[in-house]
């Protein structure tokens, strides 16, 4: 039986992306950003209600991580595609002999694609998807109608 772990969100960046370095042996760089999504519905009183969800996005692909760190800013409208990843660690709760540890699970979206959706700023497709595609000059049939 095949399994699927795929996440696609469209939202707004809550703060400028932050570039970090991994603590493991290779010390590779990665970029972290937070993206807000919102859903709206009519409640029982026939009034509109809404809820904002915050998503932590981690970009480990080197070219895409650099692209996100240099071009995406707070307030940008973005599309993120990737997979949901969990990390579990133990955290000390208290001090001394009676200190206990609590297991905590941390969830983030490991991004494979980050695209700016803001109008007015054209974006090269190869940089957005992190692919190694060669330079391509778009023809009339390649351009979007909007």
pLDDT for the residue numbered 123: 54
pLDDT for the residue numbered 38: 95
- 54-81 per-position pLDDT tens digit: 999 999 999 999 999 999 999 999 999 9
* Mean predicted confidence (pLDDT) in 115-131: 62
Within 12-143, residue ranges assigned H as helices are: 62-71, 125-129
pTM confidence score: 0.71
Residues whose CB is less than 8 angstroms from the CB of residue 28 and which lie 6 or more positions away in sequence, other chains included: 21, 22, 60, 62
- Is residue 127 over pLDDT 50? no
Find the angle CA(117)-CA(144)-CA(139) to the nearest 5 degrees: 125
- 74-121 per-position pLDDT tens digit: 999 999 999 999 988 887 777 777 778 888 898 999 999 999 998 765
Residues whose CB is less than 8 angstroms from the CB of residue 56 and which lie 6 or more positions away in sequence, other chains included: 32, 34, 107, 108, 109
* Mean predicted confidence (pLDDT) in 19-41: 89
pLDDT for the residue numbered 139: 43
Task: State residue 105 phi and psi, 5-degree precision.
Answer: -110, 135
Question: Percent of the chain, pLDDT > 70?
Answer: 81
Average pLDDT, rounded, for the chain: 83
Which tokens hold the place of 138?
């778009």
**What is the rounded distance in angstroms from the CA atom of residue 25 to the CA atom of residue 140?**
47
């Amino acid at each position: 039986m095949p399994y699927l772990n795929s996440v696609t969100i469209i939202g707004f960046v809550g703060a400028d992306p932050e570039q970090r370095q991994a603590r493991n042996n290779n010390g590779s760089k990665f970029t972290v950003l937070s993206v807000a999504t919102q859903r709206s519905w009519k409640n029982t009183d026939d009034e509109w209600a809404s809820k904002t969800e915050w998503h932590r996005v981690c970009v480990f692909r080197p070219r895409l991580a650099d692209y996100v760190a240099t071009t995406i800013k707070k307030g940008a409208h973005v599309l993120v595609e990737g997979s949901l990843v969990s990390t579990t660690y133990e955290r000390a709760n208290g001090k001394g002999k009676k200190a206990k540890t609590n297991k905590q699970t941390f969830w983030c979206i490991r991004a494979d694609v980050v695209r700016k959706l803001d109008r007015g700023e054209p974006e090269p497709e190869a940089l957005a998807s992190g692919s190694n595609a060669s330079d391509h000059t778009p023809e009339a049939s390649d351009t979007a109608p909007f």
